[in-house]
Amino acid sequence: MPAPTPLPALILGAGAAGLMCAAHAGPGAVVIDHMDRPGEKIRISGGGRCNFTNMYAGPQNFLSANPHFAKSALSRYTQWDFVYLMGRHGVTWHEKTLGQLFCDEKSERVIRLLLDEVAAAQAEVWLKTEVREIRHADGRFVVDLIRDGQPLTVTTRALVVASGGKSIPKIGATGLGYRIAEQFGHALTDTRPGLVPLTFGDSFSDLAGVACPARLSCNGTSFDEALLFTHRGLSGPAILQISNFWHEGEDVSVRLCPDLDFLSSLKEERQRAGRRDLETVLAGLLPKRLAAQVVRDSGLKGRLADLSDAALAPLLDRLTDWHLRPTGTEGYRKAEVTLGGVDTAGLSSRSMESRSVPGLHFIGEVVDVTGWLGGYNFQWAWSSGWAAGTAI
Ligand code: FDA
């Protein structure tokens, strides 16, 4: 049988990073995916409106064992490059908050944009295609695939692993990228769920549904965003953000309503209407159920006029430095990203190419680079996908 014609590049995973890479890898490149639709995570992202980047994205918004690794790709393909690409395709957007840019239309519009770019670059997308085995000899990768149920072997000098992390297996996540990294002798850093709700047993079930602005702190990092109480524990943007910095057995500190000076507000109320009950007064500053819980936990009761500043101390403590110890996270089923992954020490930060296996690249979430909540993870997918695609 004649040897199959080598592909200029084979990209494993038609998600955000893989499609971006295919759009720059040149004619004849092929991006495969085992799902029957490309870009499933883009589709469900940002509540269906894809938070595709962040105006303020920079290396400071990413976690990695090597905080310098992401700098090169992020500075060569920036958020403004993607914004320009959106403009070129007539896709409009808006800033929601904190520099987070969302599509005006549904997230599908971003998938269409990427597929149009892939088609314009004369690259191909093969769906319902699985990887069976990868061999490597004479500088070439020989990859056994199952495409639409039929076996098919392809060869290539450039193999790009863009198969994402472990989060949300229901929509396609597998451990393929980590297995390939191990096969080729690449080290992996520890992986764990990121941007994920934290669990607290049933401690907050009475407060389920209550939301409140808060400052969440852990390991020297703080985020001011919304906090949401759920039946399982805590969620909302503030918790998702801090979950990236939390490790099992550690506390997180919560300051409710960080823009509010509780002591001054309570003193004013004491002057104005000291005969009112403490819980009623606090319910004017916090959601009612949360006010009741905080007052109960502080052990205080009675009229505000009867409580001196010193007597209010336990309440103020609970409002401004509430130490909570999560029992765990809601896991990969709910995590938006996977922290950790392919160790960047084995990769070129310029091309995402393996330092030990020429032609092998790792891009996107499979790499040990994880962004904060707010469009940063897609920016990493665009930047790293572009860096590998243009280097092939
Ligand atoms: P991605 O997961 O996108 O793609 C990997 C592809 O590889 C998938 O298509 C998968 O099917 C395929 N694949 C996996 N295993 C395979 C195998 N064995 N064979 C063949 N194909 C295989 N980020 C952000 O910046 N803004 C946002 O608004 C959101 N919102 C959001 C919501 C939710 C619910 C989640 C779960 C995640 C987000 N994210 C996000 C994170 C963002 O979706 C994520 O970081 C990127 O999609 C990562 O891009 P990748 O291309 O690396 O992986």
Look at residue 3 in the predicted model and tell me its pLDDT: 60
Q: Whose CA is nearest to atom 14 of ligand 1?
A: 163
pLDDT in tens, 18-65: 999 999 999 999 999 999 999 999 999 999 999 999 999 999 999 999
Sign of CA dihedral 339, 376, 95, 40: negative
pLDDT in tens, 132-190: 999 999 999 999 999 999 999 999 999 999 999 999 998 989 999 999 999 999 999 99
Per-residue pLDDT band at 2 (split at 50, 70, 90): low
pLDDT at 1 over 80: no
pLDDT at 223 over 70: yes
pLDDT in tens, 261-279: 999 999 999 999 889 999 9
Look at residue 201 in the predicted model and tell me its pLDDT: 86
| Average pLDDT estimate for 74-94 | 98
Q: Which atom of ligand 1 is nearest to the CA of 376?
A: 25
Pair 104, 93: CB distance under 8 Å:
yes
Look at residue 45 in the predicted model and tell me its pLDDT: 97
Sign of CA dihedral 249, 340, 240, 57: positive
Closest CA to 154 of 162, 144, 146: 144
Look at residue 4 in the predicted model and tell me its pLDDT: 66
| Average pLDDT estimate for 313-325 | 96
Selected residue with higher pLDDT from 172 and 319: 319
Pair 138, 43: CB distance under 8 Å:
no
Query: What is the overall mean pLDDT for the chain?
Result: 96
Pair 255, 214: CB distance under 8 Å:
yes
Q: Which of 96, 377, 383, 386 to mutate to test the pocket of ligand 1 (most atoms within 8 A of CB)?
A: 377
C-beta of 168 in contact with ligand 1 (< 6 A): yes
Tokens of 15: 């998600």
Calpha distance 262→264 (Å, rounded): 6
pLDDT at 196 over 80: yes
C-beta of 378 in contact with ligand 1 (< 6 A): yes
Closest CA to 157 of 352, 31, 7, 13: 7
Q: How far is the CA of 42 from the centre of ligand 1 (A)?
A: 7
**Residue 325, amino acid:** R
